[in-house]
Amino acid sequence: MSTQVATNEPATLTEAILGKEALTAPIFSKVRAWPAELRAALVSVLLASAVLLPYLGAVGLWDPWEVHYGEVAREMIQRNDYVHPFWENAWFFSKPAFTMWMQALGLQAAEAGPMLALFLAALLGGLGFALYQGKLKGASATKEFWGALGILFGAFFLLLFVWAKTVNLPWKFATVAAGPDALPLFTEWGFRLPFAGFSILAIGLLTYALTIAVNARAALATAVVMVTMPMYFLLSRQAVTDTPIISATIAGVACAIVALFDKTTRHRSEWWYGAYVLFAIATLAKGLLGFGIPMVVFILYVALREMTWRSIGAHFAWLMKHLLMPMVAGLGAAVVVGGIAYALGKKWNTTFMAVPVIDNVSLISAPQWLAIMWGSLAFWAVTTVMLGMDKKATLVRPPPVFGMAYDMRLGTGILLFLAVCLPWYYEMFTFWRLDDESKIFWFRFIIHDHFARLGSGVHTTTPGGDFTYFILQGGYAMFPWVAIIPGALATAGRLKIRGLSAADGVGLIAVIWFVVTWTLIGDSATKFHHYTAPMLAPLAILMGMFIDKLWEEGIDAHGMVLLFGIPLFILVGKDLATTPKHFTDLFVYNYDRPYPAFLTETKVLGSYNIKQLMGMGMALGGVTIGLFAMLRSRAMMFTAGLAAVMSFALWFNWSHWVQLSHHWTQRDQFWRYYSQRKPDEPIAAFLMNWRGETFYSRNTVKQIKDNPQVGMKNYADQPGRQWSLVEHARLGMLKSAVGDKPITLVDKDLNNKFVLVIIGE
């Protein structure tokens, strides 16, 4: 049991920052009446929005992933086919469609530009004001909360509209699908906003859940940790598949935490069903891990929390009494439905999962696959319905595991999960066409992009790797919070697997979540630095719980683990300050791509450059926090720590990320091409495969890859001027291929990877 430290310091960090007088001001009277979980969620949403939303569309999309998936989304719009992903000139089977659906929605919104911003401002602001004032069916704290949130985002879109009008942007923009001009000005805004919004939603839901299960301080500490982790805020600004799967998983686990530990809620079923829907979205975002990791986490949670040797007999007896007949009926339904599916599959010559896998022979025929799928679905549906009709099964509390299955709405929840994600996968499993590697969907997606990625390695520049790989990248991904990893582990060590408190249960979920994720991804043969991202949320929860204990019990009670964190902070901070490239390597594809070192080495303040200032800032922050810790000034230590991490996060997101982006995008080059070209002047990409050239040209760029010398010569010999994109390192090859025709470089220092050239007078 924790002991509150006797002190004259403020009772809360909020009081330390704002002062007691500000908290008792009339302006906060309504807010103070809200439940703690709503207040904490609103604060976390505001915090995440401040870090993630500004400058989100100020720069172009990063090569190669954002533009690769973005071109698939653009093709969906142009082809009017939102089911079968397509890229450049072939079907695209390596990722599910949800990421591209988000992007397509944002791209189409971008066409409306400022008018959409004005509409959203009026809609959200008006609805929010009505909710806040209690005009819609009576006032309540929940409605006031959502009203305040609506007003907040309404104001955001109003400011966006005012900005567009101030800089005299046109009211009508180019379309996304096709056209002779550059993509709409708001393309990047619309493109990235759904992803940043999903990350903000995940933070808000996690804060809400942890406030209920632990307390508001631990919840807000977790939110601050998450939002200021470099990996989290960098991925949240990327419109890639990792963002929605991570956000959906975090939000789904948050819903499950509320359903498990909120003893006062009347909506436990809704929270569980929300979790199943979010896990289905995660599955639609990136595949099997979307449900695989949560499934293993909660199976282990139930087993560790509820299962005992003594209860095995009770479970078996309950199974024979209540579950045997529903299972028999389910098996009967499976045989009937599976048989019908098999017969229809043979009659219709189905292609469901039909592809030769060994010696040109299918192990299981397409009708047999169809029978297995529909039979399994029928088994689960009939068993669930019949068990639900057995009222006697719940008159007396079932044995622990079966009781937890009832509480988790397992039967109907899985049916809801399948209803959300199965239709798209079913359609793609019957889609017989091949991708550019001559693979059918299920073989490419399941075998190649899941099992081969795990076992042999796929598309990675750092295959294999030892167990330290993610320890190193995790240190960079979590900085500066590496300093409290020992404290987080110590906090986890004090929790009890079968403890009665909700905090014990949340801690167990976090530990299992981290262990499962680290073990699975760490064992994968394919290793990217950003694979660290799924491990961050469970660690952040444990860090938030440690920060709560640190405030409550005082610095002396945790001094030992704080000392352990000092070398971690110093060593990781030194690496990042001397080699800032570690930041971009967290979320890019090719780690050999040149980092624009001049951004950090150019003098910006007297004789100091960004690298030196970053190092001094890290040192100053660490020394200041350490000094206040030595003086046992809890409020000042926490205030200095919050100021330091927020300053770092805001500087990186609002300034450094913007500067870096110009060197990982081709938007700037295409803006110049579209503004300076004459009618009918083509553009080519010379020995490039960075995807941006396809997206920003709307798939009209001429790719010169095979036999490049001859291809470029033939291209340059056309009448009139031609344009081309080329890497700086290959500019000499292009000049050699062109011959005597003059070449003009357009803003050659704009990008340290690519340069735009004009061929001819």
Look up residue 134 and give its amino acid. G
Helices of type H across 53-89: 65-79
Confidence of residue 466 (pLDDT cuts 50, 70, 90): confident
Query: Is it the case that residue 96 has pLDDT exceeding 90?
Result: yes
Provide Rg for the chain, Cα atoms.
28
Cβ neighbors of 137 (< 8 A, separation 6 or more) are: none
Helices of type H across 631-745: 634-651, 657-661, 667-676, 692-696, 708-716, 731-738
Given this model, what pLDDT does residue 736 score?
Answer: 93
Query: Is it the case that residue 65 has pLDDT exceeding 60?
Result: yes
Sign of CA dihedral 269, 271, 272, 277: positive
- The share of the chain scoring above pLDDT 90, in percent, equals 61
Q: 693-723 pLDDT, tens per residue?
A: 999 999 999 999 989 999 999 999 999 999 9
Contact 222, 40 (CB under 8 A): no
Q: Report the distance separating Cα 761 and Cα 759, nearest Å.
A: 7
Over range 160-188, report the average pLDDT: 69
Query: Is it the case that residue 6 has pLDDT exceeding 50?
Result: no
Q: Report the distance separating Cα 473 and Cα 572, nearest Å.
A: 10
Tokens of 600: 């950090």
Over range 502-519, report the average pLDDT: 95
Q: 111-127 pLDDT, tens per residue?
A: 766 666 777 778 777 87
Over range 679-686, report the average pLDDT: 94
Contact 56, 192 (CB under 8 A): yes
Cβ neighbors of 353 (< 8 A, separation 6 or more) are: 364, 366, 369, 429, 442
Check whether the bond before 64 is cis (ω within 30° of 0). Answer: yes
Over range 377-402, report the average pLDDT: 86
Query: Is it the case that residue 75 has pLDDT exceeding 60?
Result: yes
Over range 262-273, report the average pLDDT: 91
Kindly report the number of other CB atoms within 10 A of residue 668's CB atom.
20
Could you tell me if residue 642 is left (phi over 0), alpha (psi between -120 and 50 degrees) or otherwise beta? alpha
- The share of the chain scoring above pLDDT 70, in percent, equals 91
Query: Is it the case that residue 10 has pLDDT exceeding 80?
Result: no
Given this model, what pLDDT does residue 461 score?
Answer: 63
Contact 226, 533 (CB under 8 A): no
Confidence of residue 654 (pLDDT cuts 50, 70, 90): very high
Q: 141-157 pLDDT, tens per residue?
A: 667 777 777 787 778 77
Confidence of residue 181 (pLDDT cuts 50, 70, 90): confident
Q: Report the distance separating Cα 114 and Cα 104, nearest Å.
A: 18
Q: Report the distance separating Cα 374 and Cα 430, nearest Å.
A: 14
Query: Is it the case that residue 254 has pLDDT exceeding 90?
Result: yes
Confidence of residue 140 (pLDDT cuts 50, 70, 90): low
15 versus 222: which is more confidently predicted? 222
DSSP-assigned letters across all residues of 443-467: IIIIIIIIIIHHHT--S-SS-S--T
For the ranges 62-66, 128-132, 311-315, 745-749, which has the lowest average pLDDT? 128-132
Beta bridge partners of 758: 723, 744
Over range 253-279, report the average pLDDT: 94
For the ranges 72-86, 271-285, 447-461, which has the lowest average pLDDT? 447-461
Given this model, what pLDDT does residue 175 score?
Answer: 73
Average pLDDT for the chain:
88
660 versus 603: which is more confidently predicted? 660
Contact 437, 94 (CB under 8 A): no
Q: 354-381 pLDDT, tens per residue?
A: 654 444 556 688 889 899 999 999 999 9
Token pair 């010999």 is at which residue?
Answer: 717
Given this model, what pLDDT does residue 137 score?
Answer: 60
Confidence of residue 221 (pLDDT cuts 50, 70, 90): very high
Q: 417-463 pLDDT, tens per residue?
A: 999 999 999 999 988 888 888 888 888 888 888 777 777 666 666 66
Given this model, what pLDDT does residue 246 score?
Answer: 97
Q: Report the distance separating Cα 601 and Cα 612, nearest Å.
A: 8
Query: Is it the case that residue 296 has pLDDT exceeding 60?
Result: yes
For the ranges 252-256, 394-398, 534-538, 615-619, which has the lowest average pLDDT? 394-398
